[in-house]
Amino acid sequence: MKLQILFSGFMLMVGLSGCHKLLEENPKSGVYPTIFNTPSGLLGGISGCYNDIRSLWGTEGWEAQLLAGTDEVLEGASASGTDFYTYNPLLSTDENGGLWNIAYQDINTINGIIQYAKNVTMDTGTRKLYDGQCKFLRAFYYLHLVQNWGAVPLHITYISSPTLSDSRQPIDSVYAQIIQDLTDASTELSPTPSGSFLGKPATQPVALYLLGKAYLSRGYTSAGSPSDFSTAATILTNLINNASTYGLGLWQDYGDAFKPANDYGKETLFVSDHDNDPKYGQYTVGGSASGGVAQNLEPWFFIFNYPTLGGNAAIVSGALKTAGPTMMTRDIYNGRPYIRTRPNNPYILGQAFADTTYDTRFYKTFQTVWISNTANVTTSRGTLQVGVDTAIWVPPYEVTGAPQADSGRPFKGIIIPPSLQNKNYFFVVKKFMDPSRPAADFNDPSTRPFVLYRFSDVYLLAAEAYFKSGDNVNAAKYINVIRERAAYRSWLSATQNAANATAADILPGQVTLDFILDERTREFYAEGLRWFDLARTQSLLERVKMWNPVEAGSFIQPFHQLRPIPQTEIDAITQGPAFPQNPGY
């Protein structure tokens, strides 16, 4: 680990703890963590690691790595990190190293806290809680590292001096450490948020969730065994059965999981917090994460440039062309258009969200209507009334007469059906929208938390574990809980909703890995899980070739199941055996 990485993490802890005396010291050969000698210093270190999660989830580069190059999404017109979308080629540059650098910086901080906390005077409950937080965070990072890169360096002791040598450890050793840490954390953490850890931090159920996921993930690898799947099923089933003990559960309506008022509610397991106070949230007005500031830009990546659409649209050479007055103005409700990522319609419409009769999740995931918000806009079909007329309609089916008419009826706005969608115009993800931003600052980043894990995932991971154990009855049972919830419509009667729930159910014989992955898209589209889902299930190559054959399928190779080791890490190892790159890169 390089000195500057160690030192930056150390300075962050010093700043959080409010200790300034240490800043006057000038260590020559290493970093001496006397800050770890106080309870407040230990808490500052843990807080620094939580802060660093914010430097990944919700940022542009990491968002591309979480979703791009899968079956779910394609490049938008302003996509960045395009090598992640296309594998043409996937580069081992610094953009690939964000997780690597942050994870190892924080793992070293965690190792220091665990090591030094043993000699710090504090009450037993606090010591136990701090230890559980550290072990959860170390396992959290290592699970992401091993799924990205396979064999990785395994450090569980504090490094106080920089070193120019390192080595990769077998994945069985890494998984063994992950499972041990999460097993410990599941007994040391509190059942619900408590003490200095409020909101939705690591708790016992979050550790159990990740422990079940770790067993499930290992089961697919050469380090695993069939018993890993049954162990995962048991852990996740027990978590479901004890949900009320932990204050967890599912909302009756799928859409309620994404209401800002429910961000810290019963369905949310674990989040990365944000705040509009710059002391805590790294917030800047109109910010776009410049200068390395970690801001939540998640809502904006999936929005096309709706303010540029002219009202007099036509099809020219098979493509949508717009002209005339623009119909929309950028506002709080419709968000800031980054145009980074768009749905892969052949998969989204043709497979994952093909059913909109009993499954409500398409319309609760995607925005398809933009109501006029700009006065005095007149198209060739009339003047749009603000707050009344539809300016843009993006339906999931073909419409006769599009882009200007709906089956011959006058339509003042424009219609963009699937056949006219492209990198510039597509279905917009609405479930992350942040209406709390000041009206005058419609370019602001979101201060909603980034939700990493929801309780519905416990059901679908349990279903996957049962399926891999050969128990399709229980697999279908837990899938159906999620499908029945997805069938709920608040405006229908209880009898109608019950009938729809029954119609949405599947039979045990219908459970396959592909069905589970489709169900995960319906439930978690754009929530930052997809690349890891495909990597975990070793389905990346097959699913990309099947559903994303043009943009990524023609370039993806078997070795892309793992990502390239960042070149900066390889170059930094100058003593001892050379640090090996993953095959194919």
Tell me: the pLDDT tens digits for 474-486? 999 999 999 999 9
Q: Are 456 and 523 in contact (CB under 8 A)?
A: yes
269 belongs to a structural domain: no
> Within the chain, what is the greatest distance between any pair of CA atoms?
79
Do 61 and 180 lie in one domain? The reply is yes
Residue with tokens 């399928």: 553
Do 419 and 323 lie in one domain? The reply is yes
Mean pLDDT of 301-322: 94
Do 163 and 18 lie in one domain? The reply is yes
CATH number of the domain to which 126 belongs? 1.25.40.390
Q: How confident is the model at residue 7 (pLDDT cuts 50, 70, 90)?
A: very low
pLDDT surpassing 80 at residue 143: yes
Kindly report, residue by residue over 199-252, the tens digit of the pLDDT.
999 999 999 999 999 999 999 999 999 999 999 999 999 999 999 999 999 999
pLDDT surpassing 90 at residue 24: no
27 belongs to a structural domain: yes
Mean pLDDT of 86-94: 88
Q: Which of 84, 89, 211, 184 is nearest to 129 (CA)?
A: 184
pLDDT surpassing 80 at residue 260: yes
Q: Residue 340 contacts by C-beta under 8 Å, 6 or more apart in sequence?
A: 60, 63, 64, 76, 78, 79, 80, 300, 301, 302
Choose the final residue of a domain: 404, 431, 458: 431
Choose the final residue of a domain: 431, 457, 487: 431
Kindly report, residue by residue over 451-475, the tens digit of the pLDDT.
999 999 999 999 999 999 999 999 9
Distance of alpha carbon 393 from alpha carbon 91, whole angstroms: 38
Q: Residue 491 contacts by C-beta under 8 Å, 6 or more apart in sequence?
A: none
∠ CA 50-142-298, nearest 5°, is 50
User: How many domains does the chain contain in total?
Assistant: 2
264 belongs to a structural domain: no
Do 148 and 37 lie in one domain? The reply is yes
Do 187 and 318 lie in one domain? The reply is no
Do 317 and 212 lie in one domain? The reply is no
Q: Alpha helix locations (H) across 150-203?
A: 171-188
Structure tokens at 147: 């799924």
pLDDT of residue 287: 62
pLDDT of residue 437: 81
Omega within 30 of 0 (cis) for the link into 89: yes
Q: How confident is the model at residue 20 (pLDDT cuts 50, 70, 90)?
A: very low
142 belongs to a structural domain: yes
- DSSP 3-state assignment of 74? strand
Q: How is residue 260 annotated by DSSP?
A: G
Number of H helices, E strands in the chain: 19, 15
Omega within 30 of 0 (cis) for the link into 343: no
pTM of the predicted model, to two decimals? 0.93
Kindly report, residue by residue over 507-541, the tens digit of the pLDDT.
999 999 999 999 999 999 999 999 999 999 999 99
Q: How is residue 444 annotated by DSSP?
A: P
- Terminal CA-to-CA distance of the chain, rounded, Å? 22
Long-range contacts of residues 570-576, Cβ cutoff 8 Å, at least 24 apart: 570/92, 572/2, 572/164, 573/164, 573/165, 573/166, 574/164, 574/165, 575/163, 575/164, 575/165, 576/164, 576/165, 576/167
Q: Which domain holds residue 394?
A: 303-431
Q: Are 343 and 421 in contact (CB under 8 A)?
A: no
Could you tell me which residue, 324 or 23, shows the higher pLDDT? 324
283 belongs to a structural domain: no
Rounded to 5 degrees, φ, ψ at 537 are -85, 5
Choose the final residue of a domain: 431, 465, 493: 431
Residue 537 to residues 144, 217, 221, 288: CA-CA distances in angstroms?
14, 7, 9, 34
- Alpha carbon dihedral 46, 51, 53, 59, in 10-degree steps, equals -170
Q: How confident is the model at residue 409 (pLDDT cuts 50, 70, 90)?
A: low
Average pLDDT, the chain: 91
Q: Which residues of 400-425 are buried (b: 16+ CB within 10 A; e: fewer)?
A: eebbbebeeeebbbbbbbbebbbebb
Rounded to 5 degrees, φ, ψ at 75 are -65, 140
pLDDT surpassing 90 at residue 413: yes
Q: Backbone dihedral region of 497: left (phi > 0), alpha (psi from -120 to 50 degrees) or beta?
A: alpha
- Burial of 305: CB neighbours in 10 Å, binned 0-12, 13-18, 19+: middle
162 belongs to a structural domain: yes
- DSSP 3-state assignment of 62? helix
Q: Residue 493 contacts by C-beta under 8 Å, 6 or more apart in sequence?
A: none
Do 85 and 186 lie in one domain? The reply is yes
527 belongs to a structural domain: no
36 belongs to a structural domain: yes
Query: HEC profile for 332-387?
Result: CCCCCCCCCEEECHHHHHHHHCCCCCCCCHHHHHEECEEECCCCCCEECCEECCCC
Q: Which of 48, 32, 187, 92 is nearest to 567 (CA)?
A: 92
Share of the chain above pLDDT 90, in %: 82
∠ CA 506-507-513, nearest 5°, is 80
Do 27 and 141 lie in one domain? The reply is yes
